[in-house]
């Protein structure tokens, strides 16, 4: 992301591409920061627009909550920012996720919008994530807030081979993978 003077403000080159115009482009080895990478990207090693949207959603939640995507020092129910905010949303306490330093001194409609867009972007099903255009329209209040399930869906992904895949041990198989919440 660039500011008005075209200075870099946010960047992650973990999914950079090597380009040899004679051969076309090919993705380099997968690298990135845990907590920002979409689960299906971690499992398959393939980048996509949907994976970029996921990362955008994590950053939106971090901005609203003023905390990192993964906080290993927090109690288990709060260690994952995504899981914690989705639980608060399901319990109709989503504004409790807002940065405590704000002392509830913010526009509740704007905060709710940012948190909802963040959750929409980190939806476990890549096909249920919005485009970046849709996120901007909602953030600008040009479109209504998305309808999200009150309980965070359990992600399942088809991965190509058959070797008894477990979420903590991804490999390439044709089995269906379920990632625990």
Residues in the chain: 181
C-alpha 66/C-alpha 85 separation (Å) is 12
Give the residue ranges of DSSP H helices in 38-176.
39-44, 49-65, 76-79, 81-90, 108-121, 132-139
Determine the distance from the C-alpha atom of residue 28 to the mean position of all C-alpha atoms in its chain, rounded to a whole number. Answer: 21
- In which band, very low, low, confident or very high, does the pLDDT at 44 lie, cut at 50, 70 and 90? confident
CA terminus-to-terminus distance, the chain: 30
CATH number of the 33-153 domain: 1.10.510.10
- In which band, very low, low, confident or very high, does the pLDDT at 30 lie, cut at 50, 70 and 90? low
Every domain of the chain and the residues it spans: 33-153
pLDDT more than 70, % of the chain: 67
CB 125 within 8 A of CB 153: yes
14-24 confidence digits (pLDDT tens): 444 444 445 54
176: nearest Cα among 155, 159, 161, 163: 159
C-alpha 132/C-alpha 127 separation (Å) is 13
Mean pLDDT of the chain: 77
Give the pLDDT score at 177: 45
- pLDDT of 161 strictly over 80: no
């Amino acid at each position: 992301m660039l500011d008005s003077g075209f200075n870099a403000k946010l960047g992650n080159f973990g999914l950079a591409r090597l380009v040899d115009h004679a051969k076309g482009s090919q993705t380099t080895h997968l690298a990135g920061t845990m907590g920002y990478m979409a689960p299906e990207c971690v499992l398959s090693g393939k980048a996509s627009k949907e994976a970029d949207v996921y990362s955008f959603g994590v950053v939106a939640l971090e901005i609203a909550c003023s905390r990192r995507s993964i906080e290993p020092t927090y109690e288990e129910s709060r260690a994952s920012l995504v899981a914690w905010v989705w639980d608060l949303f399901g319990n109709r306490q989503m504004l409790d996720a807002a940065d405590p330093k704000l002392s509830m001194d913010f526009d509740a409609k704007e905060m709710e919008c940012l948190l909802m867009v963040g959750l929409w972007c980190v939806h476990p099903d890549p096909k249920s994530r919005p485009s970046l255009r849709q996120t901007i329209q909602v953030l600008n209040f040009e479109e209504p807030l998305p309808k999200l399930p009150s309980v965070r869906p359990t992600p399942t992904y088809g991965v190509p081979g058959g070797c008894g895949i477990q979420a903590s041990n991804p490999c390439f198989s044709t089995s269906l993978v379920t990632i625990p919440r």
